[in-house]
Amino acid sequence: EQVYRDGVSGRRPRVPTTAGELERRGRRAMSRRADAYVTGGAGAEATVRANRAAFERWQTVPRVLRDVGARDLSAELFGRRLEHPLLLAPIGALDLVRRGADVAVARGAAAAGVPMIVSNQAGTAMEALAGIGRRWFQLYWSTSDELVDSLLARAEASGCEAVVVTLDTTMLGWRPRDLDLGHLPFSRGLGIAQYTSDPVFARLAQERARAPRSGPAPRVTPAAVRTLLDISRNHPGPVLENLRSPVPRAAVETFLDVYSRPHLGWDDVATLRSRTALPIVLKGVLHPDDARRAADAGVDAVLVSNHGGRQVDHAVAALDALPGVVAATDLPVLLDSGVRTGADVAVALALGARAVCLGRPFVWGLALAGADGVAQVVSDVLAELDLTVGLAGATSAADLEVTRRY
Ligand code: FNR
């Protein structure tokens, strides 16, 4: 309504409403490196395309003459109500797109009334986002258990409502767009603020610098470690503001040592329950058997996701995996990967998702108009969702009828 009212006085939305146009203009607003990083998928990007193709195959079957005057799309998760069945997916290294990106995303999400999942690879320490809307924290399981515990404790202390453990990135995927540019944001010190603001990480970096080496001369100088310690003690704020240039090698190199644990297994997940009081969501579940094991491990929800097609090329589309996972478990099931519109959200809800995470589209909004752009993209998705559900003759997601076209 607001858009049409503004249109009467000649105002057009700053951020395109058409999904394809949002993507085109958002991508154009970024540097080449940022675009490669955000757009890129694994391999030949078959899974990026499959995520969209899966949405195209599902159709709602609208019903008529069912009083849809009052609609309720709120969702309950972990005993708390979400006003809308939508969250912002965790997306790391967004300073590549825009300086101060994480604060802008947090503000945009708060303005639109949806929680933000703060990435383990954010460019801003989670403490600096405390107080800006509702937040969850996403964890990459480090090689250091002590660091994992420290991150979990900080998530609790800074008011995050849940922890999302991403399981599909024990190693970084094969991403040709980044490879062709020889560019990885993290190796330039982008997206490592959760580490540089962490006391355990600072100690690990110090130990690394002191450890005797048999090979070539130490790559981490004591001076760099002192800088790092100083940063982590005094400045929990945005990493770019604090690190200045050049980024201390100690931070980057220690990060590369600790950030992922390829030998992670179900035994590790089983220990999580005793390590945090927060509800636990496992992200990256695609197989029904893994959903069953997740329930056995005592977690609180699973997030069906293929990381936006960025990890395993030819992996099954998230939406295609959703019905099998929903059938396999009583846990709440969330979904991301390929969601572009409110009507997409409606289909995912109809197939049993409790809530949906929006990924790349909010980054395009961020690139175009900062916090306002994020808020605009989210509000558009929510408005379309509400209209789609009502016009399909439903008052809640559970009433929606869908059918698959083969
Ligand atoms: C991601 N994703 C992601 N996931 C995660 O758990 N931690 C992270 O730091 C990141 N970082 C990240 C960066 C970029 C640029 C993208 C595009 C994605 C994955 C993200 O949470 C989500 O699964 C996908 O974005 C969903 O796919 P679509 O809908 O964006 O295509």
Q: Give the span between the Cα atoms of 104 and 109, in whole angstroms.
A: 8
Say whether pLDDT at 14 is over 90.
Answer: no
What's the one-letter identity of residue 343? A
The residue to mutate among 91, 140, 339, having the most atoms of ligand 1 within 8 angstroms of its beta carbon, is 91
- 3-state helix, strand, coil split of the chain in percent (to 5) is 50, 10, 40
Mean pLDDT of the chain: 90
Nearest protein CA to atom 9 of ligand 1, as residue: 92
CB 404 within 8 A of CB 58: yes
Evaluate the CA torsion angle 186, 189, 193, 199 in order and state its sign: positive
Say whether pLDDT at 218 is over 60.
Answer: no
Q: Give the span between the Cα atoms of 32 and 178, in whole angstroms.
A: 10
Q: Give the span between the Cα atoms of 170 and 265, in whole angstroms.
A: 10
Query: Which of 98, 131, 361 is CA-nearest to residue 238?
Result: 98
Query: Could you tell me if the CB of 167 is within 6 A of ligand 1?
Result: no
Evaluate the CA torsion angle 115, 118, 119, 122 in order and state its sign: positive
Tell how far the Cα of 270 is from the centroid of ligand 1, in angstroms.
25
Say whether pLDDT at 239 is over 60.
Answer: no
Fold topology of 2-184+264-404: TIM Barrel (3.20.20)
Show Cβ contacts of residue 91 under 8 Å, excluding neighbours closer than 6 positions: 105, 119, 359, 360, 362, 363
> Domain extents for the chain?
2-184+264-404
Cis amide bond preceding 246, omega within 30: yes
Say whether pLDDT at 222 is over 90.
Answer: no
Tell how far the Cα of 38 is from the centroid of ligand 1, in angstroms.
8
Query: Could you tell me if the CB of 373 is within 6 A of ligand 1?
Result: no
Q: Is 83 exposed, middle or buried, given 0-12, 13-18 or 19+ CB atoms closer than 10 A?
A: middle
Range name among 6-20, 131-145, 241-255, 353-367 with the lowest pLDDT average = 241-255
In this prediction, residue 224 carries a pLDDT of 59
Say whether pLDDT at 245 is over 50.
Answer: no
Query: Could you tell me if the CB of 305 is within 6 A of ligand 1?
Result: yes
Neighbours of 96 (CB within 10 A): 23
Tell how far the Cα of 306 is from the centroid of ligand 1, in angstroms.
9
Tell how far the Cα of 65 is from the centroid of ligand 1, in angstroms.
40
pLDDT confidence band for 247 (50 / 70 / 90)? low
Query: Could you tell me if the CB of 47 is within 6 A of ligand 1?
Result: no
Query: Could you tell me if the CB of 341 is within 6 A of ligand 1?
Result: no
CB 228 within 8 A of CB 196: yes
pLDDT digit string (tens) for 56-115? 999 999 999 999 999 999 999 999 999 999 999 999 999 999 999 999 999 999 999 999
**Which of 84, 235, 263, 307 is the catalytic position?**
307
Tell how far the Cα of 88 is from the centroid of ligand 1, in angstroms.
10
Query: Could you tell me if the CB of 92 is within 6 A of ligand 1?
Result: yes
Say whether pLDDT at 237 is over 50.
Answer: no
Nearest protein CA to atom 3 of ligand 1, as residue: 91
In this prediction, residue 241 carries a pLDDT of 41
Q: Angle, to 10 degrees, between the axis of helix 342-350 and the axis of helix 360-391? A: 70
Q: Angle, to 10 degrees, between the axis of helix 101-112 and the axis of helix 360-391? A: 10
Q: Give the span between the Cα atoms of 398 and 219, in whole angstroms.
A: 57
Tell me whether residue 307 is one of the annotated catalytic residues. Answer: yes
Q: Angle, to 10 degrees, between the axis of helix 145-157 and the axis of helix 199-210? A: 160
Query: Could you tell me if the CB of 102 is within 6 A of ligand 1?
Result: no
Say whether pLDDT at 236 is over 90.
Answer: no
Q: Give the span between the Cα atoms of 273 and 269, in whole angstroms.
A: 8
Q: Give the span between the Cα atoms of 47 and 237, in whole angstroms.
A: 36
